[in-house]
């Protein structure tokens, strides 16, 4: 990815984190959802690119990837937070 795509992925990830928090019905703070959304979006995009050689192009493809990644990482974080000893 070049620099512009990373910046776009971060912006899309922030919005996706907010949307994913609504979908997963989690109780994190807005800042927490945005950060987890960015991590999930960038991580999912990097995973798809490196492991499978797949790149969902365009805004819609990036947004779908971001929402799925953000929802996944938010659910994992919520699971860990709820099951901590």
Q: What is the pLDDT of residue 68?
A: 87
What pLDDT does 85 receive? Answer: 57
Give tens-digit pLDDT for 9-54: 778 888 888 888 888 888 778 888 888 888 887 788 888 888 888 7
**Would you kindly state where each structural domain of the chain is located, as residue ranges?**
3-82
Per-residue confidence band for 84, with pLDDT thresholds at 50, 70 and 90: confident
DSSP 48-73: IIIII-----HHHHHHHHHHHHHHHH
pLDDT at res. 11: 82
Do 13 and 37 touch, CB atoms closer than 8 A? Answer: yes
- The pLDDT score that the predictor gives to residue 46 is 83
CA distance 17 to 3: 21
């Amino acid at each position: 990815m070049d620099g512009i795509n990373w910046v776009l992925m971060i912006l899309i990830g922030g919005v996706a984190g907010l949307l994913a928090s609504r979908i997963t019905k989690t109780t994190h703070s807005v800042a927490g959802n945005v950060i987890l959304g960015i991590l999930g979006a960038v991580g999912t995009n990097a995973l798809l690119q490196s492991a499978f050689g797949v790149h969902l192009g365009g805004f819609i493809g990036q947004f779908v990837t971001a929402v799925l990644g953000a929802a996944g990482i938010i659910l994992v974080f919520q699971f860990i937070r709820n099951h901590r000893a």
